[in-house]
């Protein structure tokens, strides 16, 4: 009953925001975010704790609270935008999206060794996935299913609307490597805490963070191009920044190479978060798993 109630409530809000003008819907999303910042004490404290540990020596308490509030606003806006764009033609999405670094994207495709879009829960990552698919190349997105199967079905339908395909987080590494070897494009968000048995511990904002080692294994074995890609929120628009491909060092020492590659991926994500701290998902317990 709880899941059905969540589903019907979500459907109501989806229909409501779809009919609003974009600016009004965006304002409503920001308002919802600010309200949740005030009401959701648990996640507010998680966000403030992470920000304090990361930036406490660089920024005042007032600045950190402003960033934390911005994190919730970004989440509210992202949810509303993702719902709002579903009833609109593809041209509307592209009209509100600009791309930077397309030369890196095109060069990676020409190599035909597969492409990995390395990103994070940053900006409106769902919008970014849809926008990338409209460039003409299908994106296979690795995602964890939502706990509510009805909502999960809706979200995955949205994600696949323009030709993308959602891969369950439990999809085997062998299947993902097969796709890369076939020249496919894979989207991976590598900014979440993971179990110690699947992780290597690398530095993230000065603290050891359990980071999944699967991407490093695939990168070392396939030679796929690794393109860090992040979406920057601008006034009424989004800017997708495609950075130059990352170079993976191969020394022959697998354990060392895995650690160094994963550390490189994490440093790249940290650099983006430092530039736009209110864009990242600070409500996630990134440092939950710690080395013994």
Q: What is the 3-state secondary structure (H, E, C) of 152-169?
A: HHHHHHHHCCCCCEEEEC
Average pLDDT across the chain, whole number? 93
Q: Is residue 265 assigned to a domain?
A: yes
User: Structural domain of residue 62, as residue ranges?
Assistant: 2-279
Q: Is residue 285 assigned to a domain?
A: no
Q: Which two tokens stand for residue 54?
A: 């990361």
Q: Is residue 291 assigned to a domain?
A: no
pLDDT digits (tens, 9 = 90+) for 140-178: 998 888 888 888 898 999 999 999 999 987 777 788 889
The pLDDT value given to residue 199: 94
CA–CA gap between residue 156 and residue 167 (Å, rounded): 10
CA–CA gap between residue 121 and residue 66 (Å, rounded): 19
pLDDT digits (tens, 9 = 90+) for 110-128: 998 999 999 999 999 999 9
CA-to-CA dists, residue 23 to 30, 33, 111, angstroms:
11, 15, 41
Q: Is residue 286 assigned to a domain?
A: no
The DSSP annotation for 207-234 comes to EEEEEESHHHHHHHHH--EEEEEEEEEE
Q: Is residue 157 assigned to a domain?
A: yes
Residue 235 has pLDDT above 90, yes or no: no
The number of domains in the chain is 1
CA–CA gap between residue 133 and residue 164 (Å, rounded): 6
CA–CA gap between residue 75 and residue 262 (Å, rounded): 27
């Amino acid at each position: 009953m709880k899941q059905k109630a969540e589903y019907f409530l979500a459907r109501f809000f989806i229909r409501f925001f779809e009919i609003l003008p974009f600016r009004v819907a965006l304002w409503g999303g920001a308002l919802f975010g600010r309200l949740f910042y005030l009401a959701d004490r648990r996640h507010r404290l998680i966000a403030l704790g992470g920000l304090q540990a990361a930036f406490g020596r660089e920024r005042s308490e007032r600045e950190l609270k402003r960033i934390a509030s911005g994190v919730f606003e970004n989440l509210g806006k992202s949810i509303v935008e993702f719902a709002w764009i579903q009833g609109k033609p593809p041209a509307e999405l592209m009209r509100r999206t600009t791309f930077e670094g397309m030369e890196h994207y095109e060069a990676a495709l020409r190599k035909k060794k597969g492409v990995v879009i390395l990103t994070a829960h940053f900006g409106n990552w769902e919008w970014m996935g849809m926008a990338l698919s409209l460039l003409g190349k299908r994106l296979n997105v690795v995602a964890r299913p939502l706990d509510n199967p009805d909502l999960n079905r809706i979200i995955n339908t949205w994600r696949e609307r323009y030709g993308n395909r959602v891969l369950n987080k439990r999809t085997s590494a062998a299947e993902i490597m097969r796709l890369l070897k076939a020249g496919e494009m894979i989207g991976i968000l590598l900014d979440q805490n993971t179990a110690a048995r699947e992780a290597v511990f690398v530095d993230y904002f000065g603290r050891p963070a359990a980071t999944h080692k699967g991407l490093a294994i695939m990168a070392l074995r396939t030679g796929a191009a690794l393109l860090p890609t992040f979406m920057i929120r601008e006034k009424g628009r989004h800017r997708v920044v495609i950075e130059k491909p990352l170079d993976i060092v191969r020394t022959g020492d697998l354990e060392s190479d895995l650690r160094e590659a994963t550390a490189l991926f994490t440093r790249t994500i940290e650099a983006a978060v430092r530039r736009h701290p209110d864009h990242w998902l600070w409500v996630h317990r990134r440092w939950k798993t710690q080395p013994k």
